[in-house]
Amino acid sequence: MVRRSPPDFAHYLAKKYMRTEMLPTAFCPGCGLGIIERAIIMAIDELGKDLWERTVFVSGIGCSGWIPVYFKCDVLHTLHGRALPIATAIKVCRPELNVVVTMGDGDSMAIGGNHLIHAARRNIDLTVVVANNMLYSLTGGQVAPTTPQNVYTNTTPYGNFEPNFNLMELMKAAGATYFARWTTWHFVQLKNSIKKAMEHRGFAVVEVVSQCPTYAGRYILGKPDPRDFMEWFKENSVPVEKSKEMSEEELQGKIVVGEFFKRSDRREFAEKVHTLIRAARGDSG
Ligand SMILES: Cc1ncc(C[n+]2csc(CCOP(=O)(O)OP(=O)(O)O)c2C)c(N)n1
């Protein structure tokens, strides 16, 4: 790879936290993943520099798997759907680390769905950022468990007839202890939720409904301009408090956003493992 010095125009946060010699990113112009990268960097920057030094990123495969690859940090770009078992091993072996996992909707809820529910059941202290672009992007726009109904994709030429997953309900039932959902339009709220998720001791999930102008733009929105996605997110988002007063019919096609739950009544998994190890060794200290 040709090494270049940081471009002069690079933002100071990019110079501080990114492998600028790798820029520009491989993302398509207008992709939401750059917004998510910036939200993660700003969250860590606001939480303090030493946090960056003890942060490890783990990602799966997909466009979203590339989110942390540009970070000047320890990064494991693993296998499709398998980021969570690897992140679990890191957290159990090195509980002092801030382990952040980035996954796509297919990565987390399709191939990696089983790992996701079990990580939530264990309440392991991980921050999981799910970039939900409503289909599989890296592989060319196939249907995902999050694709809206009736949408035409590469693999649903007659329209998607499958109901989709609500990640919040799934995580609530499985035992996660923090959940927030935003779109890339809600940048400040997203950054603040990522901060809270990192500060939370337990399995914390932040879902980001994100634009893929290339495939979701063409298939779901019918127009590939990222600005239309921003308008769509802005006009169709409903705060969780307001959604409680709305009927199911009124909520059709809406994206409910906000902080949905935060629990502190479940013990964290790595702590339980280390308590057990100490007890087994007869070490009371
Ligand atoms: C075991 C395995 N199965 C399938 C693939 C092919 N594959 C790579 S990425 C991907 C889907 C990506 O979709 P998503 O997780 O939603 O991420 P996005 O690209 O949309 O960010 C698939 C099916 C793979 N790499 N490995």
| Mean pLDDT within 40-59 | 95
Q: Which among 91, 15, 33 is positioned nearest to 272, based on CA atoms? A: 91
Is the Cβ–Cβ distance between 175 and 266 less than 8 Å? yes
Residues paired with residue 75 on neighbouring β-strands, in sequence order: 57
Please name each of the domains of the chain with its CATH number.
26-280 (3.40.50.970)
Q: What is the pLDDT of residues 4-48, one digit of tens each?
A: 566 666 788 999 999 999 989 999 999 999 999 999 999 999 999
Q: What is the pLDDT of residues 148-196, one digit of tens each?
A: 999 999 999 999 999 999 999 999 999 999 999 999 999 999 999 999 9
237 or 283: which leads in pLDDT: 237
Residue of minimum CA distance from atom 26 in ligand 1 = 80
Residue of minimum CA distance from atom 2 in ligand 1 = 80
Residue 144 Cβ < 6 Å to ligand 1:
yes
Residue of minimum CA distance from atom 13 in ligand 1 = 136
CA of 56 to the centre of ligand 1 (A): 22
CA of 20 to the centre of ligand 1 (A): 26
Residue type, position 233, single letter: F
Residue 283 has what pLDDT?
85
The residue with tokens 């799934």 is: 170
Distance CA 227, CA 224 (A): 9
Residue 1 has pLDDT above 70, yes or no: no
